[in-house]
Amino acid sequence: MKYFQLILIVVFGLFVACTGSDVIVATIQSEKIHLSEIYQSIDETAFRALPPSQKTAFVRKYAIQKHLSANPQNELAKIGFFVKEEKNRLRRDLIVEKVEKYLANNLEISDSTLAFISNALNTDIYVKVLTVTHRFSFGKAQERTKTEALKKAEKIYMRMQSGELTFEEAMSIYGESQVSKIKGNEMGQIYFGYMSKNFNDVVWSAPQEKLLEPLESPMGYHIIIVDHKIPKMKEKRIEIDQNKLKEEVQKGKYGYREENFTKFLDTIYLKYDASLNQAELYNVWDSIQKIDGVNSMSGIPVSMLTEVDNKVIGKIGGKEITLDWLVNETNNYSFYANVSINNGFSFNKLINDIFARHLLVQWYADNKDHFPEFDVTIKRKTVNKIYRLFLEKMEELQPDISRDVILNRFMLKHGIVVNSALFAENAN
């Protein structure tokens, strides 16, 4: 009896060894891939829930990715992957993504905020607006600085506040759009969320018929009169689910998430002693406008900024930041591969965006404890990109061959074998 029990124990042990996490699921020539290694790439429960064909496909992809990512740089260069540069871009892209998500997850939305939004969505607003634009305004803009635009807006406001001019008279004198002059207004009815958050906050909080001090938005400086407010009647009122509204706000609707991010940027600008030289940016923009194509719809790529003088445009921590630094910095992020500059707004946004990304990376380095398993994610993204570029290259070279055939040929060539029998329907 004891002998029989011993045999059962041995058999059970072999069964566990064959079905446990140390079972061999694939080989790359003489190198073994165990199930435990697969579980480092996918949750064990999720993997076990996959049908046999998907388990086999997952292991096949994992083995091919492992072999591809182990290739030396000269081999990876053939599919357009340059390890040092790509890892750097992937790392920085992910840092920005993670920090933005971290800030969004820590955004608190109060009940009073939800009540304000709910009320605003159920109130129709009609406004009279006169806008003073500047060189870095969104849309068609005048060739003046932001400071000059603000001074002009303040002058118009004071003339209206004193009773010297009515809104209609101010529009006929100072309106920058001929259509707006004829219409006598630039907006009329507006909907909550259409304009920037600070615009929404002020207008929906202001009393009716009040002349508001110049208010800044991406379009310039606005002189506003809240003409009238009309609460929606019962049949037109919007029934608002507060939980859904909170979720929408946290995801970015109505500008609260963007405002929170902007406030965070203000703190790290101070923390790292960062600033931009606005006067020098205007000089740089003057030079850029002389480049052919800059004022076209397609604009010019960021790399063409090297054609203008390498001016000092700001500082970070006492270090001077030049235009060449800016161009070099864009190479650290995949985002800028297709960015173009076609007006003052896009140029100014680019400068501020690059500064922000650089400071976010610096802040991340000082706060790594907020981001566990970051390096694991980088590794996963790196091997996924190598795999994608490999397939794109092979499909380009062999357009008549299916992806499955390409992968199977690659496996044969490099001695990759998947133990697909392990995942057969009757394997368990």
State the Cα–Cα distance between residues 194 and 206, nearest whole angstrom.
17
Q: Which of 58, 19, 17 is nearest to 38 (CA)?
A: 58
Q: What mean pLDDT, rounded, does the chain reach?
A: 86
Output the CA–CA distances (angstroms, integers) from residue 78 to 48, 62, 91, 389, 393, in the order listed: 36, 21, 22, 10, 9
**What distance in Å separates the CA atoms of residue 391 and residue 410, rounded to the nearest whole number?**
11
pLDDT exceeds cutoff 90 at 362: yes
**383-392 average pLDDT score:** 86
Query: Which comes out higher in pLDDT, residue 47 or 424?
Result: 47
pLDDT in the model for residue 275: 94
Confidence check: pLDDT of 94 > 50: yes
The Cα-based distances of 205 to 111, 115, 136, 199, 210 in angstroms read: 17, 13, 28, 10, 11
Domain segments of the chain: what residues?
Answer: 65-106+367-428, 124-230, 272-356
Neighbours of 62 (CB within 10 A): 21
How many other CB atoms are there within 10 angstroms of residue 135's CB atom? 22
Q: What is the pTM of this model?
A: 0.78
Examine the pLDDT at 21 and tell me if it is beyond 70: no
**Contact assessment for residue 382 and residue 374, using Cβ atoms and an 8 Å cutoff:** no
State mean pLDDT over 366-382. Answer: 84
Each residue's pLDDT tens digit, 250-300: 989 999 999 999 999 999 999 999 999 999 999 999 999 999 888 888 889
pLDDT of residue 88: 84
Is pLDDT of 113 > 50?
Answer: yes
How far is the C-alpha of 273 from the C-alpha of 9, rounded, in Å?
Answer: 69
Angle CA 206–212–215, to nearest 5: 105
Whether residue 3 has pLDDT greater than 60: no
Whether 313 and 323 have beta carbons less than 8 Å apart is answered as: yes
Q: What's the pLDDT at 182?
A: 54
**217 pLDDT more than 80:** yes
Q: Measured between alpha carbons, how far is residue 376 from residues 43, 45, 157, 308 in Å?
A: 14, 20, 56, 41
Of all residues in the chain, what percent carry a pLDDT higher than 90? 48
Contact 302, 324 (CB under 8 A): no
What pLDDT, on a 0 to 100 scale, did the predictor assign at position 427?
Answer: 55
pLDDT given at position 19: 47
CATH number for the 124-230 domain, one of 3.10.50.40, 2.40.37.10, 3.40.47.10, 3.40.50.1100?
3.10.50.40
User: Among 1-5, 358-362, 384-388, 409-413, which stretch is predicted with the lowest mean pLDDT?
Assistant: 1-5
Other Cβ atoms closer than 10 A to 299: 18
Q: What b/e sequence results for 306-331 when a residue is b if at least 16 CB atoms lie within 10 Å of its CB, and e otherwise?
A: eebeeeebbebeeeebebebbbebbe
